[in-house]
Structure 1
Amino acid sequence: MNSKLNEKRKHELEKISREVEMEDHIMSVSKLCTTLNTNLDTGLSPVAAKQILSTNGPNIVTTNIATGEWIRFVKNLFDWFNSFLWIGSLLCFITYITETYESSVDAQPDDLYLGFALAGAVTISGCFSYYQEAKSANIFITFRDLIPRYVTVIRAGSKLRCPVNEIVVGDLIEIQAGDRVPADIRITESHGLKCVNPLLMGNNEPFLRSNECTNTNPFLTKNLIFFSTNCVEDFSGTAQGIVIKTGDHTLMSHLLANYYQRKSTKKSSESLLNKDITFFIRIITAVSLFIGVILSILSYTIGYSWLNAIIFMIALFVAQIPEGLFPTLSVVLSLAAKRMASKNCLVTNYETVETLGLTSTIITNKTGTLTQNRMIVSHIWANNSVINSENLYRHSDGYKADLDSPAWRALIRIACLCNKAEFSAAQARLPPLKREAIGNSTDVALLKYMEIIIGCVESYRLKYPKIFEILFNSNVRHSLTINKFSGGFWLCMKGAPEVIFDRCSTILVMGKIRPFDQKYKSYFKHILEEFGSFGERVIAFCDTYLPYNEYPTDYTFDYELENYPTKDLRFVGLISLNNPPRASVPDSVHKCRSAGIKIIMITGDHPITAKAIATAVGIIPDDKQTMDENYRFGLRDIHENDEFTSPVITGTQFQRLSDQHLNHILSSDTNIVFARMTPNQKLIKCCRNKKSVNAVTGGDVFENADIHIAMGMTGSDMSKQRADIILLDDDFASIVSGIEEGRVIFDNLKKSICYTLSSKTPIICPFLLYLLIDIPLPLGSITILCIDLITDMIPAISLAYEFPEYDIMKYKPRDPIINKLVNKRLLFLSYAQLGVFELFGGLFTYLVIMNENGFNLSYLLGIRKLWDSMAINDLMDSYGQEWTYNRRKALEYTCHTAFFAAVVITKWSALICCKTRRISIIKQKMKNDVLTFSLFFELGLAVFLSYCPGLDRGINLYPLKLYWWFCSIPFAILMIIFDELRRFLLRRYPNGWVENETFY
């Protein structure tokens, strides 16, 4: 191990070790057991474990995260976007102070109000974003507890699954590949276990563990593994050890700050959603600043003071920025995560939810995801006979299976001993099929079946103690045990038939050992095809005898040396297992097909079995063949220019494919099944090269995958720790639900942005008219903020609660490069269509009020300088009335309030129009209660701001006559009619001009 560490890292570990007083790895195991009052064979008693737990507390690492919370709050308050608004607020205060000291008359308080309004808006927005972020974190913590995290503990001689937080010092526990070490452990027995701890070792190299003390430094010895260490899943390995430290007393608790960070081998990258939003915000910020600067310069050149010019710039900048976007985004992601959790889909990285909506390829394993992960023994081959498991004594020729024959005794021996599964001790009286068992689904099925036909498997195992073990993994595709018998050892092996066939030279049939020749191999190929056609997984069994004269009783079997036979073994038999598909999968597969999502199923099963399962759930049609069938089992070579018609490809064939040929296969729209292999970087990289967004299930983490999905029930601790999404029920349907949720997020964000941006046209155009045609200002800076920060905020957020449109899973995934969150069609619709109706509604109301008071349109043109002059107090209107400066401003502020009210009325229609992107509002209906509430809430706020006593003197919002509220209603009605017609044309003429120009 030391050779893998550089000198600098060794020096650092030596320095850390000097701070730690530990001798647990140096003392003998017997002395350690005495010190901790435990037993190497039986572990602690339940009573002793309970007492230690009450004394030492749970196995939990605590931390003070208050500082982190403050940092997170400050980041939300002062991110780069909010910083612009803080600068704007500061400029408003500076302008007001400067104007107060430079002017001989009292300064107008508009600048002061604007400064406070901006500061308040940013504070509220920052607090809201922080609240949503904290709420999302709490949702994750709540549902994280649903993920089972257990460890196998031996107490009073019985194995049981114990919650990680209940293990105590002195517990005897078992660790295997894929586990995350729950405490500091002294290893007492190890069989090829390899671990990685990049935090400690500084790299991701796997280190072999053993029960030998190899270094006085606890960090460099092989017989210790530390809390949070990952046991490598790619290697077979198990270990047993004694817990020596738990919770805050573990050595790794010194590095606690790093423990709470999400450890992942994938490189950190910004999500596609974040990229879209950041790009949009930067563009609109730059455009807003540009427009603000240009118009402020223009206003300065036509006679405004530099202070007023700055105020114009700030107001125009604020007018163009969608201040409610980030709060809306927080709500959308939080809601989506909560909805997904309710569908047994736990999101560990919330921005991944929207990326999941982009998924164009799902690379999924079979067992547990597409199937129920409840395997049962179906058929058995032994002694040249195929037997149905439901009736062990039934045979097609009328003979009974002889369980006492050498072949059956050997098959039973391997199935019982080369098996990691164990029954729960608390359910001994239940029938075997109803008892809970610890282990993988294959081993559990074999254990239960052996329990039925021979009785107590546990007693059988006690007769023949296990000396050495290698667990099954996807690399070697077999498991192996060596057990002690009288006179010698028996090496038992089970695994994939092809692997076992290659390792066997003889076969046990009818009590005789015969050569395992090509005739037998051809015969078994047909047997495998027959079992596989039923969708059954087939396990092959073989063994060999190791006499004591060649392998003494004290012989040490070594995983790395491989000092035991793995060739010329004796073939014994086959057992097939049935794993029924989940009932929800066919419908989910159909949804994927409708949504243009390709499914790539990867399984370690035989290609015929893989084909049968894939056909049963609808991934591939029944008439498709395997590549072996197309190419006559390798009699013809695979060429790159061959037309791809074989959706089932084996791992061996996959390795022979060039990248060009693989790209050709993956570019087809056909779903594909890869048999006898696991997900690997080559496959995922090729999928990535096709510019597809890949969601990958399984225990491994791939840097080229966009989304990593772990199984909550059967997944390893290591895979859950690194996953973006965890399926609590291991169900493929949950992935499809997540994809649908991701599409809903994108749709609802688009709708919210479209609604928010629609008010920018009626906000900025009054400033342009004010400067270009010299009319009194129709809409003031305070009322702009009322629209942006008060009345618009809740309706924009309410669109996060909008239900999905019925066709959301009936179109292909969007291209994130072409179809961004904000595109020119969305801008065209919001600014030039919906926004224009709002502008006309506001201007019409403005002109009605001005005309009532003697200022018709022709009279208003060019009157701005006279209107704004404080020296003129006898301005004549068209009726011959004289208007003082204060009366003119009161009328102007009334127009501001009326324009604001008109925008609110037309925004009702805009909100209703934004409920759907394609389907009719009539079909979508008003099912969103939050949106309905927001309509009346928005109107209520507008009424309050208009009629609240004192606001006319405070922020210049004046009461309105009742009928002025109705001036904009015709424009609101026209907006709905126009947009319904637009959506009708979208549906009637797909890919037509209307869709190309307005479908966002």
Structure 2
Amino acid sequence: MNKYQLSIHEMHINNESGDNSQSYLLVMRGGFEQIIERCSTISIDGVDLEMNEYWRAACEHVYSELGNLGERTMTFCDLRLPAKEYPIGYSFDVDEVNFPTENLRFLGLVGMSDPPKRAIPDMIKKCRSAGIKMIMITGDNAITAKATARAVNIISNDSETIDDIAERLGIPVESVNSSDAKACVIQGNDLYNKSPEEIDALLNNYAEIVFARISPRDKVSIAEGKYEIIDKERLRSMLCLACQRQGGIVTITGEGTNDVPALQQASVKVVMGIAGTNTCKQAGDILLVHDNFASILTGVEQGRLLFANLKKSIVYTMTSNIAKIMSLLICLLTTVPLAWGIITVLCIDFINITGAISLAYEKAETDIMKRPPRNPKNTRSIVVFSSILLASSFIGIIQVATGFFAYFLIMINNSYGQQWNDEQRKQLEFSCYTAFIITVIICQWATLIIFKTGRDSILQQAINMRFGAILVAIISYIIYNNTTYPFKFGWWYPALFYVFLMLIFNEVRKYIVRKHPDSVMATATSY
């Protein structure tokens, strides 16, 4: 790989004569590894000395020190071409390379600092806590890449690479067990002839990965096709395919036209709005207007909040529908009269719609960015089995049981030992309707409080239920005024009992889910 830039300049000042005169000056700059191998001398205080092991080690030490500081290095060397071999007007051919590129004079290194934005380290740390894996691909050398990765938290402070372990223990790198390292820095030449299986193993074994010195001539064989030349963009495409083979949702950021092939492979394509080219913008899914990389994290959080609130609204709506369906089935399968009428169903639906809309505007829970991403293979639909189980088996059944308890309580207390005419029977039936509807409405109000949070305690979430309480009171008052049969306060007890029962049950359930996220309770009832 020719990772250097070379230029030849005509020398207009020439004070020498004869064979020692020079007509051209060859200047080369580039990566340290490439330049140091081409130098046979070094300039020290204006004197040319032989590039021996001492000076080579000194240069490598300075190079490592600059790299550990996270600075990008540029190395310079030159060579004065003798006028006898390269006279004025000599035709230099860059294809045939009819000029020397070896035995040059080492001049020095320049360190350039390009510090990351202040928000980047915290953003990457939050991404990691949210279960998002960050992979860094750079053309910098391994030392600089590792220092930069540590500065932005792509490699965390408590993670060690194989080289770090070897340095700490004072042993050769070959003696280190690769499984002991949590992070790795892979250079471009190490990717030579890696198979898809080896790349998959690399992604599985290391949580923090940095690819350094990615060059246009790194050869990589992948399952989807063999590329003789792999540049940075093709490597990003290759890694994207590898992550997708493992079921990952891959996001790639880009700004240049050369980023388009990699963006086309990504699941989510993010393009910089200011620095991005028009071709790149057309290939993207998301456009960052201010080129602020931290906006991606905000987008992830808002996406999770939207999805969580949507599930809350759906599961909340299912509870009352299941209660109505089960009461209808009881009526059809037994001789029990239907426990609700048309007006009562409309009242329940009105409460449902109002509550479902309010859940759509809930604020994010405290752990929303600490949860692992959803597995797209296991959660292809919004309403999963655990949501149905929670809505029907736990809450829906208890709502129906509470409503029928109030229904039969009125029927039992007012039906024995009395003579009935049709009007009195209708009065009693309407009173039972009233008890059922008020019980279900209060149960739905309590269910609304429960579904405000999926894992957090309701004490952690601000509860503003004044509108719901006023609505329940108004509906209950209207129903009560239209009841000709006396409605006793004791008939409210079943609904109040349900409120306390479900609040206690769900607080216990949420506590178990928070403490044991992999437990059966969490798997069966999380929504």
TM range (shorter): 0.7 to 0.9
Q: Tell me: CA distance 1:903–1:787, structure 2 relative to 1, closer, same or farther (3 Å).
A: same
User: What is aligned with 2:212?
Assistant: 675
Q: Tell me: CA distance 1:785–1:506, structure 2 relative to 1, closer, same or farther (3 Å).
A: farther
Q: How many residues are aligned here?
A: 478
Q: Secondary structure at the match of 1:574?
A: strand
Q: What is the RMSD computed on CA atoms of the aligned residues?
A: 4.6
Q: What are the within-5 Å matches in structure 2 for residues 162-561 of structure 1? A: 494-498=29-33, 524-541=59-76, 549-550=89-90
Distance 1:485 1:939 in 2: 93
- Deviations for 1:730-759, whole angstroms, at most 9, x for unmatched residues? 555444444333333333333222212111
Distance 1:695 1:941 in 2: 50
- Deviations for 1:331-382, whole angstroms, at most 9, x for unmatched residues? xxxxxxxxxxxxxxxxxxxxxxxxxxxxxxxxxxxxxxxxxxxxxxxxxxxx
User: What is aligned with 2:224?
Assistant: none
Q: Tell me: CA distance 1:502–1:695, structure 2 relative to 1, closer, same or farther (3 Å).
A: farther
Q: Secondary structure at the match of 1:575?
A: strand
Distance 1:945 1:669 in 2: 64
Distance 1:828 1:896 in 2: 27
> Of 795, 807, 820, which aligns to 2:367?
807
User: What is aligned with 2:240?
Assistant: 684
Letter in 2 for 1:994: M
User: What is aligned with 1:939?
Assistant: 472
> Of 441, 446, 449, which aligns to 1:909?
446
8 Å Cα contact 2:253/2:263 also seen in 1: no
8 Å Cα contact 2:339/2:433 also seen in 1: yes
Aligned: 1:980 with 2:519: no
Distance 1:596 1:794 in 2: 34
- Deviations for 1:136-159, whole angstroms, at most 9, x for unmatched residues? xxxxxxxxxxxxxxxxxxxxxxxx
Distance 1:548 1:959 in 2: 117
Segments of 5+ residues of structure 2 without an aligned counterpart are 14-22, 215-231
- Deviations for 1:863-914, whole angstroms, at most 9, x for unmatched residues? xxxxxxxxxxxxxxx7322216xx8678756655653332221111111111
Q: Secondary structure at the match of 1:697?
A: strand
Distance 2:434 2:96 in 1: 89
Normalised TM-score (structure 1)? 0.41
Aligned: 1:698 with 2:254: yes
Q: What are the within-5 Å matches in structure 2 for residues 531-930 of structure 1? A: 531-541=66-76, 549-550=89-90, 568=101, 573-620=108-155, 621=157, 624-625=160-161, 643=179, 645=181, 647-677=184-214, 678=232, 679-699=235-255, 700=259, 701-728=262-289, 730=291, 733-780=294-341, 783-788=344-349, 790-819=350-379, 821-848=382-409, 850=411, 854=415, 879-883=418-422, 895-896=432-433, 898-922=435-459, 924-925=460-461, 927=462, 929=464
Q: Tell me: CA distance 1:482–1:936, structure 2 relative to 1, closer, same or farther (3 Å).
A: farther
- How far apart are residue 528 of structure 1 and its match? 2.1
Normalised TM-score (structure 2)? 0.73
Q: Secondary structure at the match of 1:917?
A: coil
8 Å Cα contact 2:427/2:485 also seen in 1: no
Letter in 2 for 1:692: G
8 Å Cα contact 1:840/1:971 also seen in 2: no
- How far apart are residue 671 of structure 1 and its match? 0.9
- Deviations for 1:943-977, whole angstroms, at most 9, x for unmatched residues? 597489xxx9xxxx999958466652222222212
Letter in 1 for 2:160: K
8 Å Cα contact 1:504/1:567 also seen in 2: no
Q: Tell me: CA distance 1:802–1:564, structure 2 relative to 1, closer, same or farther (3 Å).
A: farther
8 Å Cα contact 1:607/1:626 also seen in 2: no
Distance 1:941 1:534 in 2: 69
Distance 1:592 1:688 in 2: 19
8 Å Cα contact 1:798/1:934 also seen in 2: no
Distance 2:431 2:440 in 1: 14
- How far apart are residue 609 of structure 1 and its match? 0.8
Distance 1:550 1:540 in 2: 27
8 Å Cα contact 1:477/1:499 also seen in 2: yes
Letter in 1 for 2:311: K
Q: Secondary structure at the match of 1:915?
A: coil
- How far apart are residue 497 of structure 1 and its match? 3.6
User: What is aligned with 2:497?
Assistant: 970
Letter in 2 for 1:686: A
Distance 1:566 1:738 in 2: 54
User: What is aligned with 2:19?
Assistant: none
Distance 2:479 2:497 in 1: 21
Segments of 5+ residues of structure 1 without an aligned counterpart are 1-474, 857-877
Q: Secondary structure at the match of 1:841?
A: helix
8 Å Cα contact 2:42/2:51 also seen in 1: yes
Distance 2:421 2:24 in 1: 115
Q: Secondary structure at the match of 2:356?
A: helix
User: What is aligned with 1:343?
Assistant: none
- How far apart are residue 577 of structure 1 and its match? 0.9
Letter in 1 for 2:211: F
8 Å Cα contact 2:162/2:178 also seen in 1: no
- How far apart are residue 537 of structure 1 and its match? 0.7
Distance 2:25 2:479 in 1: 91
Q: Tell me: CA distance 1:937–1:538, structure 2 relative to 1, closer, same or farther (3 Å).
A: farther
- How far apart are residue 682 of structure 1 and its match? 1.7
- How far apart are residue 521 of structure 1 and its match? 6.5
8 Å Cα contact 2:67/2:73 also seen in 1: yes
- How far apart are residue 687 of structure 1 and its match? 1.9
Higher RCO (CA < 8 A, seq sep 6+): 1
User: What is aligned with 1:78?
Assistant: none
Distance 2:107 2:407 in 1: 93
- How far apart are residue 588 of structure 1 and its match? 3.7
Distance 2:477 2:88 in 1: 95
Q: Tell me: CA distance 1:609–1:969, structure 2 relative to 1, closer, same or farther (3 Å).
A: same
Letter in 2 for 1:684: C
Q: Secondary structure at the match of 2:192?
A: helix
Q: Tell me: CA distance 1:549–1:479, structure 2 relative to 1, closer, same or farther (3 Å).
A: closer
- How far apart are residue 796 of structure 1 and its match? 1.6
Q: Percent identity?
A: 35
Distance 1:510 1:958 in 2: 109
8 Å Cα contact 2:67/2:144 also seen in 1: yes
Distance 2:287 2:31 in 1: 28
Q: What are the within-5 Å matches in structure 2 for residues 115-194 of structure 1? A: none
Distance 1:934 1:490 in 2: 83
Q: Secondary structure at the match of 2:360?
A: helix
Q: Tell me: CA distance 1:793–1:572, structure 2 relative to 1, closer, same or farther (3 Å).
A: farther
Q: Secondary structure at the match of 2:134?
A: strand
Q: Tell me: CA distance 1:973–1:661, structure 2 relative to 1, closer, same or farther (3 Å).
A: same
Letter in 1 for 2:407: Y
8 Å Cα contact 1:844/1:968 also seen in 2: no
Q: Tell me: CA distance 1:842–1:517, structure 2 relative to 1, closer, same or farther (3 Å).
A: same
Distance 1:704 1:941 in 2: 56
8 Å Cα contact 2:163/2:173 also seen in 1: no
Q: Secondary structure at the match of 1:598?
A: coil
